[in-house]
Structure 1
């Protein structure tokens, strides 16, 4: 079930009505939300609802074992934590990386002169598995570090299954959501108005900007970069930067808005990332829930961050981003994308540490231009189907004509508008919501309905799945 569809709209109206009709019983509300989340996930493939339930039982039971272990036996507590994390990773690895590792093993054996058929199975990738396994692992880490009390089975299961963030984030941590599950939610005017603004804005970014750029420009060029001119390649590179932002931030906005209408608060996941003046600044603004997860649990928690010297800090940055790239998918292009970001992050630290005192700081405009184009180059690897395809794309940027076969005035306008979004006042959405909060509830609903109908009239045929559904 895709957010920008009539079927999801009807589904959410039913869920919204049922949930607020049982406002005297928080437990029944959570049960209804859990069942609705399973229906939402099961609309894609019912078989994998069992995987959600198994994952919740695994993390709930592991957390209980950690807490039941005496404080005077920290080694055993840590061993239980590691076992729980490993089991999560095994589940993720089987579904997401089985084929990749088997293919690499086959290549190694062939290079060594041992050619044989390997037991290849067709493994279906469950939608959103990377997101809910990361939520489970962060829950275990927080319980082990005593930052979070172990929750009831119902609450842990709902944390990992809650449909607004289930398939593409944000990666909402237990410390953010479990305390909210412990008490009956309230829907305030601020939450309702902000929720509707975010839903409408997300619909516009996805249905009008991202979908049109995808079908009209980005997909044709990336499918066969050698067949397109340099102008088309340049346009597609910038177009994909805008598309992936509008696509992914749209999902996050809609998830935050839907949760708000149900009485729950999700953390911000995007903050005008293409305004960044350094790559470190970019990762404070892009997919904030993932970047903060990697920082807290991998870079600092597992690798030690900057506590073991400067050289180790740079190595930790590189390893964190390599693993962050691999988290996105079982392709070398994702690893290269992560390595590019990790390398530049390390170079930024080196420059900050060794920059001559007499040399003035670079102008912010130069920092922005450099950062943005490093990100755009990274997106070429991220979007390309193969390493050879990425090289062909980069090679085409260095030569070829400037005649365009796919760049239209509409695509150019959408690219420019998508970039202009980043330079509007940061609190513009909140200001709009503050104005709307004064409107009567029926008027607010009518305004939202009119906006959605206008978006439906502007959008093009069909709704492509969100890019991050594949992760």
Structure 2
């Protein structure tokens, strides 16, 4: 069930009053939250819910085992391998099988590796990485190992279940232990995030996808170069508004439940280099890779050259994590090469670029890399990029009215990014100054406008794929 569907909105109207009524009975309230998580997951697939429950029990058992052998390295390594093997099996088996078979055929070997009819559970990439944080916590802090209901709740906490942000086990359980959960936190801010996120997704991301992105990426050979360029820019904006909007919605919903989720976006398109970009974009993933992969591999402690290898591997994993397709591999490698190139540039003491030029070059690099993220195949991505210069229709074959509209939208978007924090502060303060009887109709009107200006159906979020 999508978080922007009418059915979900109706369930929220029924669920939240009951949930808040149980604030003085925390065990019963957490049981309701646990059941709601599995209930929402079961709307996608009852089998998925069963798989998630079995996986969560397995993680709980592995955590207990690891905590009893915390001074030994092997149990932790085995537990992590088993944990990640679940993700590899469901999400990457067919990709690995096909790639290996093709490689063997090119070497002259005829082979037929077994086929498996697997359906990837929704959100598997996210809750697997969350499980990793629990096992690491159990190994490093054996006294913090949790009872089964706590682990079940952590891995099926529905605001972050389907597409993140990736929550850390120690931070989630610290909130439980502090006794601050269950009561809504900063309601005005939560409402602002939910309405803004819904507008970003339903109005703007959907418009960008339908108008500029989807038709062009489907038939790039039929488009002029300017139209292809508009599609590239359009997708850069679409994915930011789509995923950023999703994060705002679920972060706001978590606040209404009494929980804080990690920050996932810090205006990434204001970045002045790729390192800066990755401290702003999908922060819960980039910080996970830094803390659980990059630093354990040595980080920057083993010399400059080894550091660059670690950076490349970390960015490659970031790409592969998104999906079983060579397009994601190339996307991750491009960002890895970009960050490594930046490090070599600094090592050579290259001149500091003007802020406007650094910002422009970063946006250009990110926009080109997004082509591989969006395209279905490497061939499709390369054809689109090649079509910018070599196209039968010519570069200027385009709907200039739409191109100008996109250029204006892009400019307004970047300006709003620069003033987003100030705007949020002002709007939230305004909401707080209003009495509840005034806030309710205002929010109802805003939500109605978002629905009215949005698509007729229920669009899926881009990151539901991962």
User: Shorter-chain TM-score: which interval?
Assistant: over 0.9
Q: Judging changes above 3 Å, is the alpha-carbon distance between structure 1 residues 36 and 307 closer, same or farther for their aligned structure 2 residues?
A: same
How big is the shift at 1:152? Answer: 2.0
Equivalence map 1:206-217=2 (5 Å): 206-217=201-212
The aligned residue for residue 94 of structure 1 is 89
How big is the shift at 1:89? Answer: 1.3
Match of 1:285 among 280, 295, 305: 280
> What secondary structure does 2:421 align onto?
coil
Contact 2:194 2:248 survives alignment (8 Å): yes
Q: Judging changes above 3 Å, is the alpha-carbon distance between structure 1 residues 151 and 112 closer, same or farther for their aligned structure 2 residues?
A: same
**Distance in 2, Cα, partners of 1:411 & 1:194:** 30
How big is the shift at 1:406? Answer: 9.3
The aligned residue for residue 2 of structure 1 is 2
The aligned residue for residue 468 of structure 1 is 463
The aligned residue for residue 152 of structure 1 is 147
How big is the shift at 1:440? Answer: 2.2
Q: Judging changes above 3 Å, is the alpha-carbon distance between structure 1 residues 331 and 47 closer, same or farther for their aligned structure 2 residues?
A: same
The aligned residue for residue 390 of structure 1 is 381
Q: Which runs of 5+ in 2 are unaligned?
A: none
How big is the shift at 1:202? Answer: 0.2
Contact 1:216 1:411 survives alignment (8 Å): no
In the alignment, structure 1 residue 343 sits paired with structure 2 residue 337:
yes
Match of 2:106 among 105, 108, 111: 111
Q: Which runs of 5+ in 1 are unaligned?
A: none
Q: Judging changes above 3 Å, is the alpha-carbon distance between structure 1 residues 281 and 27 closer, same or farther for their aligned structure 2 residues?
A: same
**Distance in 1, Cα, partners of 2:197 & 2:262:** 16
In the alignment, structure 1 residue 264 sits paired with structure 2 residue 259:
yes
Bigger mean CA deviation after superposition, 163-172 or 400-409: 400-409
Match of 1:324 among 318, 321, 327: 318
How big is the shift at 1:46? Answer: 0.9
**Distance in 2, Cα, partners of 1:370 & 1:410:** 23
Contact 1:211 1:463 survives alignment (8 Å): no
The aligned residue for residue 21 of structure 1 is 21
Equivalence map 1:332-411=2 (5 Å): 332-355=326-349, 359=351, 361-400=352-391, 401=394, 402-404=396-398, 408=402, 411=406
Bigger mean CA deviation after superposition, 415-424 or 339-348: 415-424
How big is the shift at 1:30? Answer: 0.8
Contact 1:55 1:136 survives alignment (8 Å): no
**Distance in 1, Cα, partners of 2:255 & 2:295:** 31
In the alignment, structure 1 residue 187 sits paired with structure 2 residue 183:
yes
> What secondary structure does 1:462 align onto?
coil
How big is the shift at 1:417? Answer: 3.9
Q: Deviations over 1:230-269 (max 9, x none)?
A: 0110000000000000000011100100001111111211
How big is the shift at 1:60? Answer: 1.6
The aligned residue for residue 55 of structure 2 is 55
**Distance in 2, Cα, partners of 1:417 & 1:43:** 38
Bigger mean CA deviation after superposition, 343-352 or 441-450: 441-450
Aligned-pair RMSD on alpha carbons?
A: 1.8
Bigger mean CA deviation after superposition, 407-416 or 121-130: 407-416
Q: Judging changes above 3 Å, is the alpha-carbon distance between structure 1 residues 272 and 113 closer, same or farther for their aligned structure 2 residues?
A: same
Q: Judging changes above 3 Å, is the alpha-carbon distance between structure 1 residues 283 and 149 closer, same or farther for their aligned structure 2 residues?
A: same
**Distance in 2, Cα, partners of 1:41 & 1:66:** 28
In the alignment, structure 1 residue 453 sits paired with structure 2 residue 451:
no
In the alignment, structure 1 residue 198 sits paired with structure 2 residue 193:
yes
**Distance in 1, Cα, partners of 2:157 & 2:143:** 19
> What secondary structure does 1:426 align onto?
helix
> What secondary structure does 2:459 align onto?
coil
Contact 2:130 2:166 survives alignment (8 Å): yes
The aligned residue for residue 298 of structure 2 is 304
How big is the shift at 1:411? Answer: 4.7
Contact 1:191 1:263 survives alignment (8 Å): no
Match of 1:438 among 433, 445, 449: 433
Contact 2:220 2:387 survives alignment (8 Å): yes
**Distance in 2, Cα, partners of 1:135 & 1:350:** 33
Q: How many residues align?
A: 461
How big is the shift at 1:415? Answer: 3.9
